[in-house]
A and B are shown apart, each in its own frame.
Chain A
Amino acid sequence: MNLSRQFKLKRDQIWVLIAKDFKLKYNSTALGFLWSLLVPTLTSAVYYFVFGIMMRFQAQNYLLYLMSGTFLWQFFANVIMMNGAVLTANQGLLKKTSFDRELLVRGTFYTESIHFLLTVPVLLGMMACYKVMPSPLLAVPNLVVSLLALQLLSVGVSYFYAACNLYFRDLERIMGIIMMMWMFCSPVFIPVSSVPEKYLWIYNVNPMAPILQIWRDIFYVPGWHPQFFLPLLAGCFVVFLLGRMVFRKMEPGFAEMM
C-alpha cells in the first residue's frame, strides 16, 4: 500500500470513529449538542456562586478568570476520563477487526476538541462583556502552544490510562480522585494570588499551570510568557512518548483481555 493511501485510510478511520462517538454521545438526548455548551457554562456558574460569591476570591473579572479556566480544564479532563473506557466501549470492534488501536485514543481527543471548540464563542462573548481585547499577534502563538501542549499531555496520560485500566479496573476510581486533586492543584478557579507562597511549587511542577496561564494570556488578561513555551512543550512531549510506549507495549494483549 502506498503512503498517500495509508494516510487517507488513517484519516478516514479517525473520521468514522469520531462520527460514531458523536452519534452515540447525543443519541436519545433532547438537547443534544447544546450540552457541550451547557455543561461547562453551568459548571462555571456553580463555581462562581461558591468561589466568587460565598468565598469571595479576589481577582479582577473573576467570572472570566473562572470560565476561561473551567472550559479548558473540562476539555482536558474529559479527554482523559473518556479514554479510560474507550477500549471496553469498543470491545466489539477490537475483537473482530485489526485496525490501529491508538486511533481510538486519538479519536477521543478529536471528539472532545470539537465539543471544546463550540464553547470558545461563549468565552469570546464574555470577553466582549468585560471589554477585554486580545492582541491577535500574540494570540496565535499562545493558542498554538497552549493547545498543542494540552494535546500532548492529555493524549499521553490517556494512552497510559486506557491501556492500564484494562488490566487494573481499580484505576478508574483512582483516576477520578487524581483528576480532582489535579484540578485543585491547577489554577482553574483559585487565583494564583490566593495560593500561600509555600505551596506555589505545586504550580511550578504542574504542566497544567503554564498551559492555563498561556491560555489566559489570550482569553483573560492579554499577556505574553514565551519563557514557558519550550520547557512546557518538551515536558508534555515526554509524557506523550512515555504514554505511547506503555500503550504499544501492552497493545498485543488487548483482544485477549476482553
Chain B
Amino acid sequence: MEEPIIELNDVTMKFRLERRHYGFKNIVLHLPQYLKDRREAMTYTALDHINVKISRGERVGLVGHNGCGKTTTLSIIGGVYKRYTGEVKVRGRVSMMLALGAGFSPELSGRENIVLNGVLQGRTRAEMNALMDDIIGFADIGPFIDSPVYTYSSGMQARLGFGIATAIEPEILLVDEVMAVGDADFAGKCEKRINKLLEGGTTLILVSHSMADIRKYCSRVVKLDHGRIVADGPTEEVLGA
C-alpha cells in the first residue's frame, strides 16, 4: 500500500499561557507573586497525542468547537508551528489558506500579492506570472486588482486568496474557514475549482463550521475536542451521530 501523504504520529502541541506580563519593575516589586506565577506557569495543550494518517486524494473535514485545535493542526501540517512533540510527515507540496488575507502584504496591490504569496508558497516568479490571468479571472474583483489589499472587503480577500491557493495546483490543500465569507456566486466557483483539483488527485483538508460544506466536499471527518480526536470516520457516520 502507498504511504500516507500526511502522517501525524502522537503529536502534542503546547502553548505557554501568558497570564501576566512582568516587566523588570514588577519583578522587583512583586517578587513572591512573580515566582509563584512562574512556578505555576500554565501551558495550554492545543493538541494532545494526535494520531492521523491521510492517504493521497482523501478529502478530510476537520470539525469541532472553537479552540479545539483545528487551526493548530493545519498550521503544523503547513510547517508554520514547529515546536511540537511527536512526528509529522508531509509527503507533498502544500498550499495553505489559513485565514483571510493570510500571507498577503496589505500595502501591496492584489497583483503584487499574487506573486508574493505564490513565491513564498514555493512557486517561481515565472510560474506565478503564467498563472496570473487565471487567478485574476477567478477572483473577478475588477479594478481592485491594482489597489492595495487593505482596501479589499473580506469577500475580495477570500476570492484572491482562494484563487492563488488553488491555482498553484497543490498536492495538499489546507483551507481554514474562508469560503464562509463569500456570496453564492463565489461559493459556486469555489466548488467547481475544488472539484477540479480533487479530480486531479489533490488531498484536501477543510476546516469548517458549516456542516453543509463539510458534507459537500469531504468523505471523511475528524472531530476534535479539547485537542483530542473524538471521532474519525466516514462523513455521515461522524456527523450523523
Contacts and interface: CB of A to CB of B under 8 A. Distances in A.
Interface of A: 5, 8-9, 12-13, 15-16, 19-20, 23-24, 27, 92-99, 251-253, 255-256
A92 B81 contact: no
B81 A256 contact: yes
Given A12-B125, A15-B125, A20-B116, A98 B80 contact: yes
Contact of B120 (A93, A255, A256): A93
A92 B75 contact: no
20 contacts: A5-B124, A13-B119, A16-B119, A19-B112, A20-B105, A20-B116, A92-B102, A92-B106, A93-B105, A95-B80, A96-B102, A96-B103, A97-B80, A97-B96, A97-B103, A97-B120, A98-B94, A98-B96, A251-B82, A255-B82
B99 A253 contact: no
Interface in B85-102: 94, 96, 98-99, 101-102
Contacts of B99: 96
B19 interface: no
A252 B105 contact: no
Interface in B105-145: 105-108, 112, 115-117, 119-125
B101 A97 contact: no
A94 B80 CA distance: 7
Interface of B: 15, 75, 78-83, 94, 96, 98-99, 101-108, 112, 115-117, 119-125
A201 to B, nearest CB: 33
B122 A9 contact: yes
Secondary structure at the B interface, as helix, strand, loop or mixed, is loop
A-B pairs with lowest CB-CB distance, top 3:
A98-B79, A252-B82, A96-B102
Contacts of B125: 12, 15-16
Contacts of B104: 92
Contacts of A27: 107
Contacts of B115: 16
Nearest to A251: B82
Contacts of A9: 119, 122-124
The CB with the most chain A CB atoms within 10 A, among B106, B107, B119, is that of B119
Given A256-B15, A256-B81, A23 B103 contact: no
A165 to B, nearest CB: 16
B131 to A, nearest CB: 14
Nearest to B93: A1
Contacts of A15: 119, 125
Given A12-B119, A96-B98, A252 B83 contact: yes
B121 A12 contact: no
B75 A255 contact: yes
Contact of A12 (B94, B112, B124): B124
The CB with the most chain B CB atoms within 10 A, among A16, A19, A24, A255, is that of A16
A87 to B, nearest CB: 13
A20 B108 contact: yes
B86 to A, nearest CB: 14
The CB with the most chain A CB atoms within 10 A, among B75, B116, B120, is that of B120
Nearest to A5: B124
Given A20-B116, A97-B117, A255-B80, A92 B105 contact: yes
The CB with the most chain A CB atoms within 10 A, among B15, B96, B101, B108, is that of B108
A23 B106 CA distance: 12
A23 B80 contact: no
Nearest to B105: A20
Given A9-B119, A12-B119, A16-B116, A96 B80 contact: yes
Nearest to B106: A92
Contacts of A252: 82-83
Nearest to A8: B124
Contact of A23 (B98, B108, B117, B123): B108
Nearest to A14: B119
A8 B124 CA distance: 7
